Amino acid sequence: MAFVADATYTYIDKSANNDFQRLTYNKQKKRLKPMTICSTDGRIVDFYGLYVAVNNDATILTHVLDSNDDFKALIREGDIFLLDRGFRDCVKELSQKYQIQLQMPTCNINLFLY
């Protein structure tokens, strides 16, 4: 099975809990950061978050795999994860610990059609 994982940004109403608001607010994007994992046929496997704004994609995915037994039960040895360059910090851990095949672009190419 193949999975696609990526963190995205979403707007939410201002929280009355000031500590939570400071932890989850991303100053750069001015939004909160949840993680979405989908299958390649477009079905959403699960939605995780909201995460602290200082966590990058790699940190979030390793946390999901370490703490979520339901998602770990779906993963089999040899499954493929399609990830962007934001996950480069966890490539070694995912391939060795979970025996997952990772596919990641080597560069960012912008194509402009005129």
Assess if residue 108 is contained within a domain.
no
* pLDDT one-digit tens code per residue, 49-87: 777 767 888 988 888 888 888 888 888 888 899 998 888
Write out the residue range of the structural domain in which residue 19 sits.
2-103
Structurally, how many domains does the chain consist of?
1
Assess if residue 110 is contained within a domain.
no
CA R_g for the chain? 15
pLDDT band at 114 (very low <50, low <70, confident <90, very high): very low
pTM here is 0.73
Assess if residue 14 is contained within a domain.
yes
Contacts (Cβ under 8 Å, ≥6 apart) of 38: 3, 4, 5, 44, 45
Contacts (Cβ under 8 Å, ≥6 apart) of 26: 9, 32, 33, 53
Distance CA 56, CA 11 (A): 18
Assess if residue 52 is contained within a domain.
yes
